[in-house]
Structure 1
Amino acid sequence: MRTISSLLTVLAVAASLASAALVSGRGPRPGQIKNLVTFGDSYTDVVSTGDNAIAWPVFAAQDGNLELFPFARSGATCSNNITFRPFPSVFESQLPLYFSEVRNGSLRLNAEETVFTLWIGTNDVGVNSLLVGQGGPGATVVNTTRCAVSWVKTLYDSGARNFLFQNMIPLQKTILYSADSYPNRYWTAPRNTTEWSVFMTEMTTAGNALSRALLEMLAPKLPGAHLGLFDSHQLFEDMLSNPAKFLNGTVPPNTTGAIHQCFFDINESTSDLNNCTTVTGPAADSFLWYDELHPSEQTDRNIGKAIAAAVKRTSEQYTTWFS
């Protein structure tokens, strides 16, 4: 398995610098935020949803009485120049679309009343990307993390002032990246599932620590801005460790299976997926995962509730405001 010692060295230096640069703040005032602008991948896309149902931004807008402006697109990475995928990335597609709508006047937002969120990284570190060595030359999680953090400065320079950065979940606990995974729709070829799980743990842990350090260093350089970190990783750890608090379906809470699972038979000559199972009705609300990679609708309800509480300032449980 490849080493990430150089990544950890950079991380240690960044964390050391961050401690000196940290400027504490209070974030936006309670009730200040009225608009929610979202960027990201299938975890945030409200049209091509990862859970085949309602995505968390819709729940956040409802719970927080916010107007939603969604720019996240399924399959996205931070930049296709770092980890190429044939999907609308943040920097090559989502941000240009946002800036285009601002320029042509179709999107008019009061900067003081608008919060911008970014939840990216799942595709950057996953299959067909860093996990299997399919990034640009020399690309690591350092590059993808720096890219994500630079999203803040890019929008700040355009006039945005309120930001909530969402870190990566413990992806090694999804079915796709768990040590006891199986051939599925996202990966059918032979693989060392234990190696994948360990490496994914390293990338998500290191990437999240690095993003926090970089955000802390960036905050004092953005006068008049409110910059916060939403700890998606901890929220998922809490849901995994205490599912009964978050899942309320009609069967016992389930954090290891999924609503829609498909087992691929590697001995079959056809590439068709088979042995699919789908949970329907109220029982689906007992599942943390929709499929082998994506959170369920019930999980998205919990994410939306937590994000709404963060931007409306009714809870600081998963949020740290650096400015």
Structure 2
Amino acid sequence: MLLALARPSWAAGVAPGQIKNFVTFGDSYTDSSYYPTADGGYAWPTWAAMYGNFSLYGFARSGATCSNILTYRPYPPILGWQIPAYMNETRNGTLELNPEETMYTIWIGTNDLGANALLTGSDAPTTSIVEVRQCAIDVMNKLYESGARNFIMQNILPLDLTILYSNYSYPNRYWYAERNTTEWNVFMKELVRAGNEITSLMLEAAIPKLPGAHIASFDSYGLFTDMYNNPQNYLNGTAPYSVTSCINSCVYTLDNATASTCTVATGTDADSFLWYDELHPSQQSDRIVAREITAVMKGEYNQWTTWLS
């Protein structure tokens, strides 16, 4: 009973009409800085800004990890580039946001867990799933210290369901070397589930140290699993629904950096796919993410969201 009383099950989150701005941190799933984005169109934050009439400030960048010290990639990580860029803009007056009216979203992990990182071996051999998920919490802590108070922490989607990490995968633009696809699929499934559970525990432990913060845990894993299992509830294209193929598929010759066969779905057929390519969600999937996150920022009930504080 004492544990139940201690848990912030009463948390109501933000009020309707409270949020007017949102700031994003993450990787290609969230990068809204260019067009077309990694999903072949607009990233989900662009749709959310339109759906909710919010002002968007996007610091997420494609290819990013949480920290290049933990899992190195030659792209702008959250801790090493995105947070410093945000802090610089707030210090020099370029960016002035009312903390009460601003939501901060953090969605990271795809590149930390994937090929050329934890899945195949990080450049930092002591790095584990624990450190990379602690990094996501550290991002939230740094933003809190700078004055941020409203957060949406998006957990990792089921990467084992993407074509890249499926057991039926093929040589593609992200990995065309030899591999055991079944081994990758099983390992990725475990990394994602463990990472999400670790994050949940770390979030609950962090709450007492962040007085006045409103923290929502958004279940990207649950949402994408439901889209995968029940595509008829989410996809609306003119082609047969597909969750095991993608809009822009390129099959490579093994150990060859040149694609041998590419197929691309066009027009309204594209909205029948869960995935844009072997790793990224489709435009239709991103519109679903935007719809759900918009509801959270508007203070509405959302089945994929738990307000922890």
- Partner residue in 2 for 1:283: 269
Note the C-alpha offset of 1:20: 8.6
Maintained 8 Å contact 2:245/2:273? yes
Report deviation, 1:309. Answer: 0.5
Q: Deviations over 1:215-265 (max 9, x none)?
A: 111112211110110000000011011101111001121111100000011
**1:52 CA displacement:** 2.1
1:258 is aligned to 246
Instruction: Write out per-residue CA displacement over residues 145-170 of structure 1, whole angstroms, 9 at most, x where no aligned residue.
Output: 00011111110000000000000000
The 10-residue stretch of structure 1 (108-117 or 48-57) with the greater mean CA deviation from structure 2? 48-57
The answer to whether the 8 A contact 1:23-1:220 is kept is no
Q: Which of 307, 314, 320 is matched with 2:293 structurally?
A: 307
Superposition pairs of residues 206-217 of structure 1, within 5 angstroms: 206-217=194-205
The equivalent of 2:7 in structure 1 is: 22
Counterpart contact for 1:22–1:220, Cα < 8 Å: no
Partner of 2:304: 318
**Does 131-140 or 156-165 show the bigger shift?**
131-140
Inter-partner Cα distance in structure 2 for 1:300 and 1:271: 29
- Counterpart mapping for 1:81-160 below 5 A: 81-160=69-148
SS in 2 for 1:257: strand
Is the CA contact 2:32–2:42 (under 8 Å) kept in the aligned structure 1? Answer: yes
Does 2:43 match 1:55?
A: yes
1:23 offset after TM fit, Å?
Answer: 2.6
Rounded to whole Å, the distance in 2 between the matches of 1:191 and 1:277 is 23
The CA deviation string for residues 113-158 of structure 1, in whole angstroms up to 9 with x for no partner, is 0000010000000011000012413111110000011111110000
> Is it true that 1:66 corresponds to 2:54 in the alignment?
yes
Q: Is the 8 A contact 1:182 1:263 kept in 2?
A: yes
Give runs of ≥4 in structure 1 deviating > 4 Å. 18-21
Query: How many residues are aligned here?
Result: 304
Using the size of structure 1 for normalisation, the TM-score is 0.92
**Structure 2 gaps, min length 5:** none
Could you say what secondary structure the match of 1:255 adopts? Answer: strand
Percent identity reads 54
Asked if structure 2 preserves the Cα contact closer than 8 Å seen for 1:141 and 1:207, the reply is yes
Distance of 2:149 and 2:273 partners within structure 1: 36
Q: Which amino acid aligns with 1:221?
A: K
Contact 1:21 1:217 in 2 (8 A): no
Q: Normalized against structure 2, the TM-score is what?
A: 0.96
* Aligned residue number for residue 33 of structure 1: 19
d(CA) in 2 for partners of 1:135, 1:148 = 19
**2:185, 2:6 → 1: CA distance?**
34
State the Cα distance separating 1:19 from its structure 2 match: 7.6
Aligned to 1:45: 31
- The answer for unaligned runs of 5 or more in structure 1 is 1-17
Paired with 1:70 and 1:316, the residues of 2 have a C-alpha distance of: 23
| Matched residue type, 1:198 | V
